[in-house]
Amino acid sequence: MANILEIRNLHATVQGKEILKGVDLVLPAGEVHAIMGPNGSGKSTLSYVLAGRDGYEVTQGEILYQGRDLLAMEADERARAGIFLAFQYPVEIPGVANSVFLKAAVNAGRRARKQPELDAMDFLKRSRALLKELKMDEKFLNRPVNVGFSGGEKKRNEIFHMAMMEPNLAILDETDSGLDIDALRIVAEGVNAQRGPDRAMLVITHYQRLLDYIVPDRIHVLANGRVVRSGGKELALELEREGYAGITGDKSAA
Amino acid sequence: MNTRSQPSSETISAHVAAFDRLAVSLPGTGLAQLRADALDRFKQTGIPTRRLEDWKFTGLDALGKAVFSPAAAGGAPEVDVARLDALAPVANAVRLVFVNGCFAETLSSPLTGTGVKVGPLARALDEVDPDALSQGDEGAAHALVALNAAFMSDGAAIDLAADTVLDRPIVIIDLSGGDGMAVHTRNLIRLGTRASATVIEVHASLGPTAPAFSNSVADITLAEGAALWHGRIAAEDEGALHHGHASVRLGADADYASFAISTGGALSRQESDVRFTATGGRARLYGAYLARGHQHMDHTTRVRHDHPGCTTDELFKGVMEDHGHGVFQGLVHVAPQAFGTNANQKNTNLLLSDRAVADSKPELEILADDVKCSHGATIGDLDPDEIFYLRARGLDGDAARRLLLTGYVEDVIARVDDDALATVLRAHAARWLGQEVT
Amino acid sequence: MNPPDSIAEERKKNDDATIRAATEGEYKFGFITDMDEDRAPKGLSPDIIRFISAKKNEPDWMLEWRLAAYEKWLGMAGHEPKWARVKFPPIDYQDLYYYSAPKSKADAPKSLDEVDPELLATYDKLGIPLREREVLAGVAVDAVFDSISVATTYKAKLGELGIIFCSMSEAVREHPDLVRKYLGSVVPAADNFYACLNSAVFSDGSFVYIPEGVRCPMELSTYFRINAAQTGQFERTLIIADKGAYVSYLEGCTAPMRDENQLHAAVVELVALEDAEIKYSTVQNWYPGDKDGKGGIYNFVTKRGACRGRNAKISWTQVETGSAITWKYPSVLLEAEGSVGEFYSVAVTNNHQQADTGTKMFHLAPNTRSTIISKGISAGQSQNTYRGLVRVSPKAADARNYTQCDSLLIGDACGGHTTPYIEVRNRTARVEHEATASKISDDQLFYCRARGLGTEDAVSLIVNGFCKEVMQKLPMEFAVEAQKLLGVSLEGSVG
């Protein structure tokens, strides 16, 4: 089975400070892996490095995405190549309708993959179907991107974007934060619907809660910029029981 | 056009004549050339006219016609100490009193101690670096600063060494009066690294004398991490003219906070020129202008962000009744290299009569992209809904209005986190509000 | 309007000036007949004005009006407005041509193959139809242009409703009463240096009259936008909406228009009578000069509308992306009770462009209302200034103004400035002004890019969002092109 993502000895700095200190991780196609870790362990940094955000400098190591050198690609190139980051804090873009934004994004990807662009009718049809699944009102299409959305609405909107864009690699950065239990279930169902043999997901979370709904194939524990433990889904329960300190051996971690 | 330039040229010759007469008696022997040069600059431009963009809303015709001439040194008239207390009701103050530009020793309590020097400037003038004195060389808009440089007679010299925290407020009382009299005081305030102080300037009239022209300049330098609360109160009697100018230089992480209030005089203009000379500085400029009768009050601020990471916060509130005329001009300039600048400017005005006038010109000049700047201005009457709400709670219309006005002014005074200054400001605002008629 | 005696007085002055000019031998060409048929010599003089007027077969009163303006303009020598935040070398007004007939076809490119490829690429991006590209690029086309015949058809239809829509030159000849009544009544000949110059030498422009109670059934000038390219450097437009009438007028073109004349000084006057509404939309995309700031149009325009009757409404919408220098302040005189003025503006500057633009709202009567929404976007080394005046006179009880000015800065070498003047002389007025300035947000850019949009597309999208309140005021067919235009104008400004 081919690997979607291979991370080798990844070191990255933010504003001169080393946050990732040698991350190794292999994500095969068709699998969902979770990355768990205490605050400040480097989880969000990893997601930004994967998405190609400016200011996150890789000083050592390499990342292969479907066998290609990911680090040589620009942020938008990565997105068009099928990498999707569901933001922990989705950004508001005043004046730009969600539908206009998303259609531009979807078609940018389709063009890059030499697929025919969606016309307005197809786009609307697909959008409506997915919004219904995510129990989101159609009015979200016409509202400016994330402007005036509640925390939960923003997160659902991210999953809606993901579903529309059909990525090969989805990175969910703390998608569970700020969601109540009902919203969490809806979001998880949306995510699970996206699982497929050619696709892989990296679910970044602080809490085990989300993993009750999105059951991962493997769990990696990130602490102090390194993967300190990897294991099956039962690792989450162990974390739940013993806390991060018990796993990482670091008393200060919580 | 002739009618405008005429008084100005008269004013120029009057000042030249006065300078010839007074030059020898002006303090600071080393400053003779500085004074002469400043007078030359003044001669080139004369009194600013409304044709200058900077003076668009404020005409100094009254000044031109009256041909004020600078006060000559002379004996100080009697001043009642109770009046001084009323002008600045603060206990424990270090007080310096100037009468028509001359230091009134018997009314003052200068302070000299470890790291602290608070006294009259005239005596220290020979040791002052001329570069520390603004001389009106920025052009025609600053002609009155040039005039002050030529004629400055005395004022406060305040020097705090590094790490000196002065917990007593310094009160400068500047009294002026006399027919056709122009008084040019100069305050020099220098705070060393991490030093902090509160300085309150009160400008008032001598008493039942003819109105004067008070032209006061403050030169303020704050070293790294220094903090100053600077109060300026223009509370002269009816008919007086007031021009105040504060030139402020802020070092790294310095904190300049000021409140300028105008309640008196026929015409007053209070200017603040603030310049950041290093990163991380903070300027808070607050003010209130309360005009009635035919009073004209102008608050003009210019803040130059030449360095990264500095912050400016401005709030000026005006209340105009009768034929009162309020002016706010605020310029925030952000230089190309001043990234991370944060500047917020707000001006609100209440017009309480059919003849009252408000002019506002908040201005942003931005040459850097990584900035957050905003300004806002509003002009209107008291909110009728608010008046109704208070009346519905049993207050009569007059009381309701007074309460709302007090609240309106208090909203900006409340930003003053220095108790002594807040007390003085409230006293002056209350005096004006107490006289409020509808 | 000038009372007759003052006209006579002006005429006498002009005659004097003419005699002076002729006897002092300052101008080499003495008589009109000596002049070139297609182009008057450089410089400005009463003879040149006579030449222009004669070329247009104008009646005497029009010539007198021009000469009077010229006389006033002479008195303004050296008094060009200096307060705007723009810099340019002094203009030698005697070194300009004030009349030139359209270029002969011999000089023009024979086909699009001979046209600058960069220009063609831009037309492509903007989706300009092929036929229009030829005209815009100045290709000599012999066939009668489609839109002109379309125009003729519509003109007949408008005529049935009593609507007059024609060139200014035609109006001067065919509708002298209306022109004499309103020309210069909103922007007096001596209003300012450039308006005065325009009054003396104006080339052509549009004239619109909508009769009482008529609602103009279409957006005027939609079908004429190509013609607009040829109205010349001293455009003069006059639009009158009689009682209860409505008209929406579109000026300009999204395509970059090339013009050999560097100085453009247009005057636009709008008159709205009781209950009438005029909506005036502009897309200005004159040649801005090259990337180093060489060349480009100086666009010094005076636009003003007067609400002359109760509840009249004038609304200006502008999208300004062109010209090396833009100096314009579409204004509204709110002369009658309950009248409404609006100004919606997007001004984009890139490279070395300079824009000093905004509006003036004069509240002169009770219950007048005005709204100002201005969005300035600066990139490259450009300077972009909003300058606006809100004046409430003592008579304007219960006047309301709301102003919102936002500046967006892209890159660290440009400038975005806001200079509002607020002058209130009535206690019952309520005036609110808000302004912000910030850079284009890194977070927004990254969010767009993480969804697969290229940097330029992302900037275009964010900028369009920033301008949305203004863009949605544009008529639909304009809006789509204008949206693309914003993106094209900012190309190369990020990263």
State the DSSP string of B179-248: TTEEEEEEEEEEE-TT-EEEEEEEEEE-SSS---EEEEEEEEEE-TT-EEEEEEEE-PPTT-EEEEEEEE
Do the beta carbons of residue C345 and residue C318 sit within 8 Å?
Answer: yes
**First CA to last CA across chain B, in angstroms?**
38
Whether chain B has a CB inside 8 Å of the CB on C436: the answer is yes
> What percent of chain B is modeled with pLDDT above 90?
67
Residue C391 and residue C422: Cα distance in Å, rounded? 6
**What are the pLDDT digits (tens) for B273-297?**
999 999 999 999 999 999 999 999 9
Per-residue confidence band for C227, with pLDDT thresholds at 50, 70 and 90:
very low
pLDDT at C151 over 60: no
Whether chain C has a CB inside 8 Å of the CB on B374: the answer is yes
pLDDT of residue C39: 64
Among the partner-chain residues C417, C424, C426, the one whose CB lies closest to the CB of B365 is: C417
Q: What is the overall mean pLDDT for chain A?
A: 89
Residue C405 and residue C434: Cα distance in Å, rounded? 6
pLDDT at C149 over 60: no
Whether chain A has a CB inside 8 Å of the CB on C446: the answer is yes
Residue B183 and residue B148: Cα distance in Å, rounded? 9
Whether chain B has a CB inside 8 Å of the CB on C429: the answer is yes
Whether chain C has a CB inside 8 Å of the CB on A104: the answer is yes
Among the partner-chain residues A74, A75, A104, the one whose CB lies closest to the CB of C457 is: A104
Q: Using alpha carbons, select from A55, A46, A84, A65 the residue that is nearest to residue A164.
A: A84
Alpha-carbon gap: C167 to the closest alpha carbon of chain B (Å):
40
pLDDT of residue A19: 95
Sequence-ordered strand ranges (E) for B282-340? 282-291, 296-305, 311-320, 325-334
Using an 8 Å CB-CB cutoff, list chain C residues near A147. Answer: none
Q: What is the overall mean pLDDT for chain B?
A: 90
Sequence-ordered strand ranges (E) for C350-414? 354-357, 360-363, 369-378, 383-392, 400-409
Alpha-carbon gap: A234 to the closest alpha carbon of chain C (Å):
32
Using an 8 Å CB-CB cutoff, list chain C residues near A91. Answer: 441, 443-444, 446-447
DSSP C102: P
Least confident of B41-45, B60-64, C273-277, C390-394: B60-64
Residue B109 and residue B116: Cα distance in Å, rounded? 13
**What are the pLDDT digits (tens) for C237-280?**
999 999 999 999 988 766 665 555 678 899 999 999 999 999 99
Mark yes or no for CB contact B377/C429 under 8 Å.
no
pLDDT of residue B1: 33
Mean pLDDT of B133-160: 92
Chain C residue with CA closest to B375: the answer is: C435
Whether chain C has a CB inside 8 Å of the CB on B382: the answer is no
Q: Which of B334, B351, B386 to mutate to test the interface with C (most CBs of C within 10 A)?
A: B351
Mark yes or no for CB contact B358/C83 under 8 Å.
no
Mark yes or no for CB contact A95/C453 under 8 Å.
no
Residue C465 and residue C258: Cα distance in Å, rounded? 29
Q: Phi first, then psi: what are they for B19, rounded to 5°?
A: -65, -45
Q: Using alpha carbons, select from C147, C143, C137, C345 the residue that is nearest to residue C255.
A: C137
**What are the pLDDT digits (tens) for A140-167?**
998 999 998 988 889 999 999 999 999 9
Residue C290 and residue B320: Cα distance in Å, rounded? 51
Q: What is the overall mean pLDDT for chain C?
A: 81
Surface of A (24-43) touching C: CB under 8 A:
none
Q: Which residue has the tokens 């008919």?
A: B239
Using an 8 Å CB-CB cutoff, list chain C residues near A165. Answer: 451-452
The tokens describing A65, both together, are: 């995405």
Per-residue confidence band for C146, with pLDDT thresholds at 50, 70 and 90:
very low
Whole-angstrom CA distances from C63 to C12, C46, C50, C202 are 13, 10, 7, 11
**What are the pLDDT digits (tens) for C76-99?**
988 888 888 888 888 888 888 787
For chains A and C, tell me whether 3 or more CB atom pairs sit within 8 A of each other: yes
What sign does the dihedral C165-C167-C170-C171 (CA atoms) show?
positive
Among the partner-chain residues C450, C461, C469, the one whose CB lies closest to the CB of A96 is: C461
Mark yes or no for CB contact C412/B336 under 8 Å.
yes
Least confident of A237-246, C32-41, C430-439: C32-41
Using an 8 Å CB-CB cutoff, list chain B residues near C412. Answer: 336, 339, 368-370
Do the beta carbons of residue C310 and residue C274 sit within 8 Å?
Answer: yes
pLDDT of residue B387: 76
Q: Which residue has the tokens 């190591």?
A: A61
Whether chain C has a CB inside 8 Å of the CB on A117: the answer is no
Residue C328 and residue C264: Cα distance in Å, rounded? 11
Whether chain C has a CB inside 8 Å of the CB on B124: the answer is no
Mean pLDDT of A53-61: 92
**First CA to last CA across chain C, in angstroms?**
55
Mean pLDDT of A39-56: 90
What sign does the dihedral A148-A154-A160-A165 (CA atoms) show?
positive
Q: Which of C373, C449, C459, C472 to mutate to test the interface with A (most CBs of A within 10 A)?
A: C449
Whether chain A has a CB inside 8 Å of the CB on C454: the answer is yes
The tokens describing B338, both together, are: 């001043």
**What are the pLDDT digits (tens) for A160-212?**
999 999 999 999 999 888 788 888 888 898 889 889 899 999 999 988 888 88
| Residue C385, beta-bridge partner list | C356, C417
Q: Using alpha carbons, select from A183, A174, A178 the residue that is nearest to residue A156.
A: A183
Mark yes or no for CB contact C424/B368 under 8 Å.
no
The tokens describing A102, both together, are: 């998303």
Mark yes or no for CB contact C452/A108 under 8 Å.
yes
pLDDT of residue B4: 40
pTM: 0.84
pLDDT of residue C289: 81
Using an 8 Å CB-CB cutoff, list chain B residues near C414. Answer: 367, 369
Q: Phi first, then psi: what are they for B396, rounded to 5°?
A: -75, 170
Surface of C (383-422) touching B: CB under 8 A:
392, 394, 407, 409-422
Whether chain C has a CB inside 8 Å of the CB on A101: the answer is yes
The tokens describing A248, both together, are: 């990482």
Mark yes or no for CB contact C461/A104 under 8 Å.
yes
Do the beta carbons of residue C428 and residue C439 sit within 8 Å?
Answer: no
Distance of CA B20 to the CA centre of its chain: 29
Alpha-carbon gap: A163 to the closest alpha carbon of chain C (Å):
12
Surface of B (47-66) touching C: CB under 8 A:
53, 56-57
Whole-angstrom CA distances from B381 to B321, C118, C200, C365, C400 are 10, 56, 46, 18, 12
Mark yes or no for CB contact A104/C450 under 8 Å.
no
pLDDT of residue C147: 40
Select the highest-mean-pLDDT range: A87-91, C341-345, C441-445: C341-345
Residue C429 and residue B138: Cα distance in Å, rounded? 37
**What are the pLDDT digits (tens) for B291-319?**
999 999 999 999 999 999 999 999 999 99
DSSP C182: H
Decide: helix, strand or coil at residue B435: coil
Residue A82 and residue C452: Cα distance in Å, rounded? 9
Among the partner-chain residues A76, A95, A145, the one whose CB lies closest to the CB of C449 is: A76
Using an 8 Å CB-CB cutoff, list chain A residues near C450. Answer: 51-53, 75-76, 78-79, 84-85, 87
Q: Which of B325, B348, B369, B374 to mutate to test the interface with C (most CBs of C within 10 A)?
A: B369
pLDDT of residue A248: 66
Using an 8 Å CB-CB cutoff, list chain C residues near B375. Answer: 418, 433-435
pLDDT at B355 over 50: yes
Angle between helices C193-201 and C60-75 (to 10 degrees): 150
Chains that touch A (3 or more CB pairs under 8 A): C
pLDDT of residue C101: 58
Mark yes or no for CB contact B336/C410 under 8 Å.
no
Mark yes or no for CB contact A95/C468 under 8 Å.
yes
| Residue C405, beta-bridge partner list | C374, C435
pLDDT of residue C314: 98
| Residue B379, beta-bridge partner list | B349, C431
Q: Phi first, then psi: what are they for C415, rounded to 5°?
A: -130, 140
Q: Which residue has the tokens 């309480």?
A: B352
**The CA-based dihedral angle spanning residues B68, B72, B78, B80, taken in that order and rounded to the nearest 10 degrees:** 60
For chains B and A, tell me whether 3 or more CB atom pairs sit within 8 A of each other: no
